[in-house]
A and B are shown apart, each in its own frame.
Chain A
Amino acid sequence: MSNPYTDMAKTELAFCIGTNMTECHPVAATFLKKAIARGAKLIVADPRRIRLAEMADLYLPLRVGSDVALLLGMAHVIAREGLVDQAFMAARTTGGAAFLEHVQQFTPEWAAEITGVPAQDIETAAIWYGSANAAAIYYTLGITEHICGVDNVQSLCNLALMTGNLGVEGGGINPMRGQNNIQGAGDAGAIPNSYAGFQPVDIPENQAKFEALYGRPLDSERGMTKVSALEQAGESIFAMLIDGENTLVSDPDRTHGEHALKSLDHLVVIDIFLTETAALAHVVLPATAWAETDGHFTNSERRIQRVRRAVTPPGEAKPDWWIVSALATRLGFAGFAYDSPKEVFNELCRVSPIYAGIDWGMAEKGEYQWPIPYKGHPGTPRLHEDEFINGRGIFRVINYRDPAEVVDAAYPVWLTTGRRLQTYHTRTQTGRAQGIEYFVPEEVLEVHPDNVAAWGLQDGGWATMRSRRGSIRIKVKATERSPRGTVFASFAFNETPVNILTGSGYDPITQTAELKVCPVRVEAYEEVAGPA
């Protein structure tokens, strides 16, 4: 997030797109509710009539995967209506002239044709966003889990740049991260293209710096993404270490994923339970859980916060940093003789310019948001206030593309996936919490009541849902949250493995899977010999 959570309550207009905030980031939604109570306007763009849509002043029910078209249409109107922040564009951005010329062709009527949102509503959304003194964009995986995820994000950046909504209180571009420390994983360098602190591996100075720190030659080429590595399993990747991820259930195209993991010569999994993924491993190493270990999480607003051990871990479970270091030492690798998480964290701070101003003791109260470039620096709650990291904000010329697969006669229905309020991811944790079972005992497919009738389904009955990759059996729930022709299910339940169906395509730059769009066919389930 470019701006802190506390800015949410200060916005004049919140534009929420591809975020089911009340279910997936409920506490963030409480700040938004405060802003609305104070008089802020809310625009919600989402294919499903989610709770947030009910709260909105303007709801844009766009077709799944049509975000770029909506955002181009909005940019067209902002330019046409003279709502561009000329001073901001001149002083702080580059590429603006080409962008403004590019959007001239994308009328709201053109966007309406693709998105299914009335042209008049696209006009209103653009005028509201363009006229507000401080307008904030909030998004999550509904924007990124597409083959055009990068295009979607850059389209949002274009809107913020053309209206000067960056570096201002109550504004900004704010992706909310779905996992407690996914931000910290990137910060710490657990990505194929950068060392800790987002220092690219393919810049020679960075390579030299880390070669000196780590005392060995390092690789100047970017590593593979996880998606490529799973494709290469048994081809060029033969041994894998997976820490705390139920890859098999969470990732798209499950049949392919299972084959990939089984193709490895050697799989080592570190986890707290014997997940479906751990059950395929050659070695399983028991880790401490949350509340059993000391360390740090970094949240969506780049706030580095201390987590603490409150109870003794069960049996011989060990902290993840200890396990990895012990394995490294066993392989004869130098530099892993850590005695405490404090030593690991202080090394991370020393080698990362964005963490350079803190150490283990200073992060106690969670008051620092990175970048904290030197000791005595107060941290950076709001990014881009004076200057962009690369100097100027860059406009990108983006065009709309169809999803990897579109509906046709064989697969005429759009399936979109996500999470629910009470369950988390693959239920490794929430599936083992008693109260949660009471709320969400099983997965259901949300179908518009008209479609339930038209497709010969029963509310509460079973359906077969098929894609080009496989089929599953799932219980039907009639609800007007789903628009006609689009159905929704979460991927939480191993018993209802929705990710057998997904995996139609990947963003070419980030290799993020298009989990939000999958054409399917839904029919009444017919009992054959034996259970499904």
Chain B
Amino acid sequence: MSTQPSINEIPLQNAGIQKTRSVCGYCGVGCSLDILTKDDRIIGIQPAMDGPSNKGALCVKGQFAYDYVHHPDRLTQPLVRRADGQLHPTTWDEALDVAAQGFQRAVDQHGRHAVYGIASGRTPSEANYAMQKFMRAGFGTNHIDNCSRA
């Protein structure tokens, strides 16, 4: 965002705090908010007073439930299941190969309708578009859905 800083934002800037305009990731109201970051960590959330769907309001989840983003349990590497039955960290290169081979095998053995994709109601639309194109334009099947039925 390259807008001129308002007077309220000067103290934030002096303290090394950046503001990034985004939209809440919880329910479907789509509240606009500013993510406050310092040293590449989220340190707070502010409601956007000019948010078209929330007009400055935020709920307890949108305002406070963000620290999962930096949680130590976050997945940081691809995992593949090896002969010992356990998931092990690996490279993207190997993980994509194993992932692709499994789909290829299913299609070779059982045909193009033997594969299925479940897209997410949480990810951006770009992910959903890529997922449905993967199933339709890639495999040639309409076996694609999202999590709206549960």
CB distance from B75 to the nearest CB of A (A): 4
Residues of chain B from 100 to 150 with CB closer than 8 A to chain A in the complex? 100, 102-107, 109-110, 113-138, 140-150
Q: Provide 5 A-B residue pairs closer than 8 Å at the C-beta atoms, listed in order of the A residue.
A: A27-B62, A298-B30, A300-B29, A348-B125, A436-B64
Asked if A244 contacts B95 (CB within 8 A), the reply is: no
Query: What residues on B are CB-neighbors of A219 within 8 Å?
Result: 136, 140-142
**A247 interface hit (Cβ, 8 Å):** yes
Query: What residues on A are CB-neighbors of B67 within 8 Å?
Result: 432-434
Q: Given the complex of chains A and B, what is the CA–CA distance between A179 and B148 in angstroms?
A: 8
Binds B, one of A47-55, A157-165, A267-275, A523-531: A267-275
CB distance from B17 to the nearest CB of A (A): 11
Task: Bin the interface of chain A by size.
Answer: 35 or more
Of the candidates B20, B122, B149, the one having the most CB atoms from chain A within 10 angstroms of its own CB is: B122
Query: What residues on B are CB-neighbors of A224 within 8 Å?
Result: 116, 143, 145
Asked if B114 contacts A237 (CB within 8 A), the reply is: yes
Sample of 15 more A-B contacts, CB < 8 Å, known A297-B125, A421-B61: A5-B29, A178-B27, A189-B136, A219-B136, A226-B147, A226-B149, A244-B122, A245-B118, A266-B102, A283-B99, A300-B30, A309-B20, A328-B133, A432-B71, A439-B60
**A46 interface hit (Cβ, 8 Å):** no
Residue of A nearest to B113 (CB): A236
> A161-177 toward B: CB 8 Å interface, digit per residue (1/0)?
00000000000000011
Query: What residues on B are CB-neighbors of A4 within 8 Å?
Result: 53
Residues of B within 8 A of A (CB): 18, 20-32, 35, 37, 40-42, 51-54, 57-62, 64-71, 73-81, 87, 92, 95-100, 102-107, 109-110, 113-138, 140-150
Query: What residues on A are CB-neighbors of B99 within 8 Å?
Result: 268, 283, 285, 327, 330
Of the residues A192, A214, A317, contact of B133 by C-beta under 8 Å: A214
A289 touching B141 in the complex, CB below 8 Å, given contacts A27-B59, A320-B123, A325-B130 = no
A201 touching B130 in the complex, CB below 8 Å, given contacts A283-B95, A284-B87, A303-B52 = no
**A223 interface hit (Cβ, 8 Å):** yes
Q: Given the complex of chains A and B, what is the CA–CA distance between A278 and B118 in angstroms?
A: 13
Majority-rule SS of B interface residues: mixed
CB distance from B16 to the nearest CB of A (A): 14
Q: Given the complex of chains A and B, what is the CA–CA distance between A274 and B86 in angstroms?
A: 13
Q: Given the complex of chains A and B, what is the CA–CA distance between A94 and B54 in angstroms?
A: 37
Asked if A274 contacts B73 (CB within 8 A), the reply is: yes
Q: Given the complex of chains A and B, what is the CA–CA distance between A474 and B54 in angstroms?
A: 36
Asked if A320 contacts B116 (CB within 8 A), the reply is: no
Of the residues A229, A290, A327, contact of B143 by C-beta under 8 Å: A229
Residue of A nearest to B137 (CB): A214
Of the residues B28, B69, B76, B97, contact of A330 by C-beta under 8 Å: B97
Asked if B143 contacts A189 (CB within 8 A), the reply is: no
Query: What residues on B are CB-neighbors of A300 within 8 Å?
Result: 28-30
**A508 interface hit (Cβ, 8 Å):** no
Q: Given the complex of chains A and B, what is the CA–CA distance between A306 and B126 in angstroms?
A: 11
Residue of A nearest to B78 (CB): A285
Binds B, one of A81-89, A118-126, A333-341, A477-485: A333-341
Q: Given the complex of chains A and B, what is the CA–CA distance between A404 and B39 in angstroms?
A: 54
Q: Given the complex of chains A and B, what is the CA–CA distance between A217 and B79 in angstroms?
A: 34
CB distance from B42 to the nearest CB of A (A): 6
Q: Given the complex of chains A and B, what is the CA–CA distance between A24 and B30 in angstroms?
A: 13
Residue of A nearest to B90 (CB): A283
Query: What residues on A are CB-neighbors of B80 within 8 Å?
Result: 282-284
CB distance from A214 to the nearest CB of B (A): 4
